[in-house]
């Protein structure tokens, strides 16, 4: 296992559009190792998702510890999902606002509006097709990570910065209101 260095806000790789990967390239051992290392890195830093630009690779890949059709967090021993070349389509007009954080913006939380229900198509790490519906928490993670592939950070999506909080202040003043 190799842990990868996480790019922090301000690094240009986080603002660039990442490129597509074809099936042949995906099968290459170096690409499979990169995916394994991304999963290890996500776990090490207790992330729910990690996109390739966050580890300085301009590739349309993200990993996420979610089950797309299930609002519950993935059990810790379950294998994270790997999305290659994801395409997200809104599946309804509803917008919901909730808290987000980002491994590239450490110790900061803010409330971000997102489409509540989506459909996402992608390749999995074997080159198979992913085509799933998702809503609420996992849909939020998918939208956040797909944004990374287009150089978009969650600050860009906030309606206002009033809720922008350091983790300590978030825990003290905000998280109790939500019962989590």
Q: Spell out the SS3 assignment of 86-150.
A: EEEEECCCCEEEEEEEECCEEEEEEEEEEECEEEEEEECCCCCEEEEEEEHHHHHHHHHHHHHHC
145 is catalytic: yes
Query: Which residue's CB comes closest to Zn ion?
Result: 102
Does 64 interact with Zn ion (rule: CB under 5 A)?
Answer: no
Part in contact with Zn ion (CB under 5 A); list of ranges 81-89, 101-109, 128-136, 162-170: 101-109
Part in contact with Zn ion (CB under 5 A); list of ranges 34-42, 77-85, 98-106, 123-131: 98-106
Q: By CB under 5 A, name the one of 4, 81, 102, 120 that touches Zn ion.
A: 102
> Of 25, 44, 97, 145, which is the active-site residue?
145
Q: How far apart are CA 135 and CA 30, in angstroms?
A: 33
Residues that bind Zn ion (CB under 5 A): 102
């Amino acid at each position: 296992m190799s842990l990868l260095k996480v790019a922090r806000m301000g690094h240009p790789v986080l603002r660039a559009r990442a490129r597509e990967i074809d099936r042949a390239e995906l099968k290459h051992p170096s690409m499979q190792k990169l995916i394994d290392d991304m999963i290890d890195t996500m776990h090490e830093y207790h992330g729910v998702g990690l996109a390739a630009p966050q580890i300085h690779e301009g590739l349309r890949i993200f990993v996420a510890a979610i089950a797309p059709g299930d609002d519950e967090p993935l059990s810790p021993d379950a294998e994270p999902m790997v999305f290659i070349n994801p395409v997200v389509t809104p599946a309804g007009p509803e917008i919901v606002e909730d808290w987000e954080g980002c491994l590239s913006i450490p110790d900061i939380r803010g409330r971000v509006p997102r489409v509540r229900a989506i459909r996402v198509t992608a390749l999995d790490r074997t080159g198979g097709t992913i085509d799933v519906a998702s809503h609420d928490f996992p849909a939020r993670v998918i939208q956040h990570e797909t944004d990374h592939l287009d150089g978009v950070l969650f600050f860009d999506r906030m309606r206002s910065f009033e809720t922008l909080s350091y983790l300590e202040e978030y825990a003290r003043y905000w998280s109790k209101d939500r019962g989590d």
